[in-house]
Structure 1
């Protein structure tokens, strides 16, 4: 397995697409073991496509793209301005609030960061905010988007680890609020010191709040409907993905009336590209995962960690540190796919709750989108706003620390994460 790991690292360094790096590394493993039938790689990849639970991924991706073309983004921006416009930091606070509201729409941190950079980035800079601070806020605030249901990270983790996706979605809502508070407080402190203006001079009137809520209510209802459908047993995760597509199309056509033929076709084209990238990655990872299990890598890593400590909290801290370091070089989706079979059994062995660990795991993995040298969301924001990565990195340190503090709170206080899933789905 050492040769496989070395090959995988070299492929990443030379810039090979991650899916191919994983697939070729998996083939190398089988070439090292001629005693294994070479039909196994084909069987493993095909078997991944037969996993009914994974059907939720393309359906939710399509639902997000359709909702983005429905005109709902403008309504949510107006609602976010009403909610956070008077806070210290103005448009920076609006950006964080908008990421919360966009969670049930896009589900992608990278897409949210790029969209907000185009919508708010130039105006934030015009209002006196430094370019590095602007890029840091727009990037790190998008961590909230994949945490709000229906986050794809939770779907992948839940499918691989056989963990309740409904409970993960419910835990994601609580986690998103904690992240929102942490980021908003950090932005407020920095903005107060630097004198950054508010986005609104006056408080929103009751009429303005009502109008903004009416405009954004359909997006706000989306995650609530998802949780209710799962809790009441009306839908499975895959079936509710199909419902999400129908819901998004209905909102775009009947409510906002902006989902015409051309935007709908653009949503389908975008969905095909996104689905192809994610599913190709998942399919090729099957060979890699087979080698990991066959070589008993989870047992080796578990033994190494338990040799240091058997305290669940400190084990989770070590895992988070490992994921944060890995996030400097590897995409979040890849880490969730590769590391779930390794770390989840260890946490279960120590008596940890798989939902609690899943939330901590997905948050830590998502942070890699915002850190150099390969953070996809970071590069999207920096390229749009023309901000040097060095300036972005310097200004993002307080935001990184804020998210890290929230991650520690999640680790040491699991009841904070689990109270809503336990309330809605009962303890199991």
Structure 2
């Protein structure tokens, strides 16, 4: 009954239109009153939830991504991807996927990826003879890579939700191979569709122009080297790498590219602060909600339920995948990570699943949720950028959903994809 009161009040509040963060907070208060614990205890958990040093990485990564997205870096990365693969039949779709790979490795945000790459490539693809709906579908599905490829601030959230027991550096490295696998799978699908529909080839860029494009793009690509190289070499932590990324992004945008106006910078910082404020409120209330779930022994009960259905690890992982895919269509990624991780992590640990591997399973699952109606944030952004109805883009994305599900199955049942690189690096 305790679990029913807590979870039931949360879903009722969401259904009547209360924002997710406040639904978590109000449901926590209702749950605390129901089991008769002091509200002071809930407030202590709220403060403790946001009073974590590791959370400093989130605002810095968000700000770095915002500076890069609006400072001309996306356009240069698109041009660089065009040098590499733009001359192939259907090459602009491959450019789109590759540009998302590069930009995701810099911004760590699918929304920023879709908005930046889509603004450049969707009109260009339509101009070259690609259907606008296909261009939007490629952009939206390709941006899911940003969830996996480091630096992903969702990996920081997962580490937090796991109680800080999972290394952020290990999660960053664990996302590299699944992220590249996703990009290659989507690229193969684009090649198949391009050949089937006889989409146009691009032109080979002259050497002199190609060298200029590569030189300009290298300033942006250096961000990856700074972030990952610094963490792996032990020169600085994830938090410090995020702050260094902001300084580098600011330097490149304002002094090298010089495409961004100084007077627009305060507005960009203001938008970043608003985004981070929402995330921090969500984290604080999720900490309260998790505290109540622990007191009510909900993770234990969920574990007992799964093990009563089957004792086969692969069957239980399939059930968890189906559940997360369904939840991902109804809620945004961040709250689901914060809510589901404390519930599901004990289940998979008991089955012998590595927490880093499970983190990648969650990332792929909930990344698919970001592009799936009715609550697909990235899908909404892609549709708005393409100026198309959500139903039109969703229909065009059906083959891409299939490709992403194949990637999910591979990440779930081939743990070495997630664990090989962190173990190689001793993380």
TM-score (norm 1): 0.93
* Equivalent residue, structure 1, for 2:8: 6
* Equivalent residue, structure 1, for 2:83: 82
Q: Secondary structure at the match of 1:370?
A: coil
* Equivalent residue, structure 2, for 1:294: 295
1:83, 1:97 within 8 Å by CA — same for their partners in 2? no
Cα 1:83–1:310 change in 2 (3 A) is farther
1:410, 1:416 within 8 Å by CA — same for their partners in 2? yes
Q: Does 2:183 match 1:185?
A: no
Aligned 1:198-277 pairs, distance under 5 A = 198=201, 200-202=202-204, 204-277=205-278
Cα 1:391–1:356 change in 2 (3 A) is same
Cα 1:25–1:270 change in 2 (3 A) is same
Q: CA deviation at 1:417?
A: 2.3
* Equivalent residue, structure 1, for 2:418: 417
Distance 1:223 1:165 in 2: 16
Q: CA deviation at 1:206?
A: 4.7
Aligned 1:65-144 pairs, distance under 5 A = 65-144=66-145
Q: Secondary structure at the match of 1:371?
A: coil
* Equivalent residue, structure 2, for 1:343: 344
Distance 1:372 1:16 in 2: 19
* Equivalent residue, structure 1, for 2:309: 308
* Equivalent residue, structure 1, for 2:23: 21
Distance 1:159 1:221 in 2: 28
Q: Secondary structure at the match of 2:71?
A: coil
Q: Secondary structure at the match of 2:88?
A: coil
Q: CA deviation at 1:205?
A: 4.8
Q: Does 2:327 match 1:326?
A: yes
2:136, 2:393 within 8 Å by CA — same for their partners in 1? yes
Q: CA deviation at 1:360?
A: 1.5
1:79, 1:213 within 8 Å by CA — same for their partners in 2? yes
Distance 1:388 1:68 in 2: 24
Distance 2:154 2:53 in 1: 17
2:74, 2:117 within 8 Å by CA — same for their partners in 1? no
Q: Does 2:167 match 1:164?
A: yes
1:332, 1:368 within 8 Å by CA — same for their partners in 2? yes
1:125, 1:131 within 8 Å by CA — same for their partners in 2? yes
Compare 233-242 and 74-83 and name the one that shifted more.
Answer: 233-242
Q: Does 2:180 match 1:174?
A: no
Q: Write the deviation string for residues 206-239 of structure 1: whole angstroms up to 9, x where unpaired.
A: 5444333322223323233322222232222222
Distance 1:386 1:14 in 2: 29
Q: Write the deviation string for residues 352-411 of structure 1: whole angstroms up to 9, x where unpaired.
A: 111111111111111111001110111122233232332222221110110110111112
Structure 2: 5+ residue runs without aligned partners? none
RMSD: 1.9
* Equivalent residue, structure 1, for 2:52: 51
Distance 2:346 2:203 in 1: 53
Distance 1:69 1:160 in 2: 31
Distance 1:197 1:8 in 2: 50
Q: Write the deviation string for residues 272-304 of structure 1: whole angstroms up to 9, x where unpaired.
A: 111111111111111111111111111111111
Structure 1: 5+ residue runs without aligned partners? none
Cα 1:114–1:253 change in 2 (3 A) is closer
Compare 77-86 and 227-236 and name the one that shifted more.
Answer: 227-236
Distance 2:295 2:330 in 1: 25
Q: CA deviation at 1:126?
A: 3.3
Distance 1:3 1:130 in 2: 49
Number of residue pairs aligned between Structure 1 and Structure 2: 423
Cα 1:118–1:231 change in 2 (3 A) is closer
Q: CA deviation at 1:157?
A: 0.5
Q: Write the deviation string for residues 145-172 of structure 1: whole angstroms up to 9, x where unpaired.
A: 2322110111111122121111111121
* Equivalent residue, structure 2, for 1:153: 154
* Equivalent residue, structure 1, for 2:388: 387
Q: CA deviation at 1:201?
A: 2.6
TM-score (norm 2): 0.94
